[in-house]
Amino acid sequence: MVNYKLIKENILISLTSIKSHLLRTILTVLIIAFGIMALVGILTAIDAVEYFLNDNFSMMGSNTFNIQNRELRVHIGGNRNRTKSYERIDFRQANRFKEEYSFPAVTSLYTYGTGIATVKYKSEKTNPNTQILGVDGNYITTAGLELEKGRNFMPSEVHHGNHVTIIGSEIATNLFKENEDPIGKVISIGAGKYKVIGVLKERGSSVGFSGDRYCLAPLGNVRQYFSRPEMNYKISVMVEDQTNMEAAIGEAIGVFRRIRKDNLGDDDSFSIIKSDNIANMLIKLTSKIQIGATVIGLITLLGAAIGLMNIMLVSVTERTREIGIRKAVGATSRTIRNQFLVEAIVIAQIGGILGIIAGILIGNGVSALTESAFIIPWLWILLGIVLCFAVALLSGIVPANKAAGMDPIDSLRYE
């Protein structure tokens, strides 16, 4: 049966001993706290980054998928995933898919015009890094965009390639000062003149890419004025009911295999990309950071364990006479052992609590920078507590056994 009174007494004795060796204890606590802070802080920060990635890439819509001619390519630092590229998707194939795909979904076509356009209005102009996308009337819906003001493209404008554009919020801010209304104004995109018919709501930056620094133009216009050899098109499909996502993808694969003339038994000559694929790939590439954080934390905790063992051995030596007195008045070896083990556990848990608090603050500092939700990492908190307990046992068992094995007569004679 657990003797709570004895445990309480051991904890009080431990706190008294800690106060009498305050500086040494503080240094040990700080070492433990730093190890737990590194572990909990970095792992919490990774959780925040994962939340940020999932949140940002889900803006495309959890019920949306793209059909394109290459697999997803992600390049971070020196890590690059291997991807397959297929024959380009031409306009005829993309348009035929839109006509033949009968699943209850919204389908749009779009193509990349250029990424180095300069947009001008009167004396104001942007840097030559504006992206021009040629889109149809459904693109805003499938891409998860919203209009802040103005209207969408009409079918006739998409078909005839009219000189009209919908601009991102960053472009609107840079070109139209003093709250001037962009709607109806004529701007220059490259060498062409375009009438602004809409402004998109601000989306902010997502993993380094600005979602507000581009212009949408009718698909027919981009095909004519930003044409280049072998233009490639992408297809975006937004399913009405998310539960039908896999069925929608299955039918899309069947339709497009027929359009692309893929032989029975051959692999698909195109890729299906879902919004969560991007986040998952980035999360996999950052898994090495998680492993590194764990190694750093464990190495630091190993150093803390050695430091704690040292302080406990010194404490045993300094309190030899006290141990002798306790044994002389009836304390058993088990009681002495438990007292020193409890002292090691108390020191380790104080360091662990401080480290957990600091780790949560650091991790959520990253969360604040990425505008993610505040995260309480219960798993990492539990891991920190368990590790601190393990460090205490590892560090305290040798000094505790040394104290328990002392002869009371020799201990009383100790100076």
Does the pLDDT at position 115 exceed 70?
yes
Is the predicted pLDDT of residue 24 greater than 70, yes or no? yes
**Going by C-beta distance under 8 Å and a sequence separation of 6 or more, which residues neighbour residue 353?**
none
pLDDT band at 82 (very low <50, low <70, confident <90, very high): low
Do 177 and 297 belong to one domain?
no
243 & 291 share domain: no
- Are 186 and 195 in contact by the 8 Å Cβ rule? The answer is yes
Instruction: Give the number of other CB atoms < 10 A from CB of residue 402.
Output: 18
Q: Is residue 68 part of a domain?
A: no
Task: Tell whether 117 and 169 lie within a shared domain.
Answer: yes
Same domain, 260 and 294: no
Where is mean pLDDT largest: 25-39, 210-224, 333-347, 396-410? 210-224
Between 222 and 393, where is the model more confident? Answer: 222
Query: Is residue 281 included in any domain, yes or no?
Result: no
Mean pLDDT of 261-279: 79
Sign of CA dihedral 59, 60, 65, 66: negative
Count the neighbouring beta carbons within 10 Å of the beta carbon of residue 86. Answer: 15
pLDDT at residue 252, rounded to an integer: 93
Asked if residues 69 and 259 have their Cβ atoms less than 8 Å apart, the reply is: no
Following DSSP, what letter does each residue of 349-403 receive, concatenated?
HHHHHHHHHHHHHHHHHHHHHTT------HHHHHHHHHHHHHHHHHHHHHHHHHH
Average confidence (pLDDT) over 389-398: 80
Name the domain boundary from 269, 296, 321: 269
Residues 201-215 pLDDT 10s: 887 554 444 557 889
Domain that holds residue 225: 87-269
Q: Same domain for 199 and 243?
A: yes
Q: Which amino acid, one-letter code, is at 395?
A: S
In a domain, 334, yes or no: yes
- pLDDT at residue 185 above 80? yes
Q: Is residue 280 part of a domain?
A: no
Q: What is the pLDDT of residue 389?
A: 82
What does the pLDDT look like over 157-176, one tens digit per residue? Answer: 998 999 999 999 889 988 98
Shared domain check, 99 and 17: no
Instruction: Look at residue 66 and tell me if it is in a domain.
Output: no
Q: Note whether 213 and 313 are same-domain residues.
A: no
For residue 368, being part of any structural domain is answered with yes
b/e sequence 341-365, b meaning 16+ C-beta within 10 Å: bbbbbbbbbbbbbbbbebbbebbbe
pLDDT of 220: 92
Asked whether residue 337 falls in the same domain as residue 258, the answer is no
User: pLDDT at residue 235 above 80?
Assistant: yes
Q: Single out the residue of 322, 336, 335 nearest to residue 412, CA to CA.
A: 322
Q: Give yes or no: residues 29 and 116 share one domain.
A: no
pLDDT at 74 over 60: no
Domain boundary among 215, 239, 269: 269
As for how many domains the chain has, the answer is: 2
Extended beta strands in 118-254, E state = 119-121, 124-125, 130-135, 147-150, 164-167, 186-189, 192-200, 205-206, 209-210, 214-218, 233-239
Say which amino acid occupies 128: P
| Among candidate residues 269, 304, 322, the one where a domain is terminated | 269
| 190 or 209: which leads in pLDDT | 190
Shared-domain flag, residues 253 and 381: no
Q: Does residue 246 share a domain with residue 173? A: yes
Phi/psi of residue 195, each to 5°? -90, 130
pLDDT at 207: 44
Residue whose entry in the numeric block shows the structure tokens 């006739």: 156
In a domain, 135, yes or no: yes
| Whether 317 and 248 share a structural domain | no
Residue 260 has pLDDT above 80, yes or no: yes
Encoded amino acid at 271, one letter:
S
Q: What is the mean pLDDT of residues 396-400?
A: 79
3-state secondary structure at position 274: strand
Residue 282 lies in a domain: no
Say what the pLDDT of residue 208 is.
42
